[in-house]
Amino acid sequence: MSSGLVNIAYLVAASLFILGLKGLSHPRTAVRGNRLGALGMLLAIVITLVDQSIVSYEIIIAGVVIGGAIGAILAVRIQMTSMPELVALFNGFGGLASILVAGAALLEVPYLVGSGSVALNAQFSLSIFASGLIGAVTFWGSLVAFGKLQGKVNDGAVRYPADQLVKILLVIIALVFAYLMVVYPDSSTPYWLMVLVASVLGILFVIPIGGADMPVVVALLNSFSGLAAAATGFVLFNTVLIVAGTLVGASGIILTIIMCKAMNRSLTNVLFGTFTVTEGGPSADEVYGGKVKSTSAEEVAMLLEGAKRVCIVPGYGMAVAQAQHAVRELFDLLEGNGTVVEFGVHPVAGRMPGHMNVLLAEADIPYERLKDMDEINPSFKQIDVTIVIGANDVVNPVARTDPDSPIAGMPILDVDYSKTVVVIKRSLSPGFAGIPNPLFAADNALMLFGDGKKAVEDMVKSLKDELG
């Protein structure tokens, strides 16, 4: 196949990647965006296999079959509530692929262009270094993030003496191995030693980050996997891989910044700081003592029957309870009664960016009813009833009122401005920030204690009785 035809095919594939990424910017076009991206990747793979004149396709076909089977099983068996863990794992697989491909290239091609081209040999070695370094950090960091999300690894901030100094030292050691890779391009030993150092760095990079910051970490590791792929593209001199990796890396960085802004924190604070509770704040007894009003599903149903406008705010508790389908049934009932129902979605609600959007989309909630924080906040004063399902920190008014709070300045959903707020939670336990929420004791707030799914199902049953 001619180089011109290959380049045209790669250009088409890259264009499909860009169009697919643009489609992912809105829920209504997300499915089409995924299909366009998949089509672009299929085209890129086919052209690469043909152009590189692969001697044996048996191993490639076996890999496709095995990988496809694993993907199909995961797609069927993994619940939407476990999607953050799956995304973290996929990020890690991308990093591992970069490590192995770069290592294979190093073993197969000790000198890229011959002894006469020192500059290109150095470029080749540095590309392999970047691919291995970023890939190893991504792989092991993603495994730690997966463990934290699964609860198999301490989801708190695990700190150790001189932790930042240790990480700086590991980076310096990795750079020393990079130098050795350039000086001795025919030896693979410095590369694998560098990968070992980077693996330790990846673990130590994520271990100190608490569970509250996992949405940011997942987005950042997604960016890392893209950058590792782009570096691998330079190793293989594959244009489409460079483009695809760069797109993933850039979009991941942008998403990471959005997540940080939604938490009113800098990226450096997330990565190198500690999310701690400020000493001296009010205790739970001081905030809740004698002020919390418990309610029942029947009482909430009576409120909803006469409500003209209702907002539902999903949180991680809804994901854990898998209440999204019960929420859809409640939505249908209210809509049938002439009530306008909207969903207020906070950017960092859940365990990954867009977690709540994915769950609500699974339950076929109309896209136009999903409102982001900036869109819904001005409307809360006109909302009759707001139902908060398993959310805590993202609706805590302390963020607006207490400058000494660990969440001070964090943009929140202003649900406390609603005429009535119904909070569905198992208990008064704090969120990731570890602080009490005055909303639960507010004059206009009612607490419906229990499992999120059962609570909503009971509300649906009671509302059906009310409506006859």
Question: Catalytic pick from 155, 393, 414, 451?
Answer: 393
pLDDT at site 417: 95
Rounded Cα–Cα distance for residues 361 and 35 (Å): 17
Q: Which domains does the chain have, with CATH numbers?
A: 78-272 (no CATH), 284-467 (3.40.50.1220)
Rounded Cα–Cα distance for residues 45 and 37 (Å): 12
Residues of the chain with pLDDT under 50: 111-118, 277-278
The per-residue pLDDT for range 162-219, each reduced to its tens digit, is 778 998 999 999 999 988 887 877 788 899 999 999 999 999 988 888 766 777 888 8
**259, amino acid identity:** M
**CA dihedral of residues 227, 233, 238, 244 (deg, nearest 10):** -20
pLDDT at site 45: 83
Sign, Cα dihedral of 170, 172, 173, 174: positive
| Burial environment of residue 70 by CB neighbours within 10 A (0 to 12, 13 to 18, 19 or more) | exposed
Q: Which two tokens stand for residue 453?
A: 């799914």
Three-state SS at 113: coil
Specify the residue for token string 């290592």: 103
pLDDT at site 467: 81
Tallying the residues shown for the chain, one arrives at 468
**445, amino acid identity:** A
pLDDT at site 212: 66
Nearest Cα to Cα of residue 317 among 440, 203, 408, 423: 423
pLDDT at site 284: 79
> pTM score > 0.85 for this model?
no
| Burial environment of residue 384 by CB neighbours within 10 A (0 to 12, 13 to 18, 19 or more) | middle
**CA dihedral of residues 143, 255, 260, 395 (deg, nearest 10):** -100
Q: Which two tokens stand for residue 42?
A: 């299929």
| φ, ψ (nearest 5 deg) of residue 56 | -125, 120
51 is catalytic: no
The per-residue pLDDT for range 253-308, each reduced to its tens digit, is 888 888 787 777 777 777 776 555 445 567 777 788 888 999 999 999 999 998 99
CA distances from 28 to 35, 202, 370 (A): 13, 36, 11
pLDDT at site 278: 47
pLDDT at site 115: 46
Question: Kindly report the CA angle at 217 between 315 and 88, in degrees rounded to 5?
Answer: 85
Q: Which two tokens stand for residue 310?
A: 């209702």
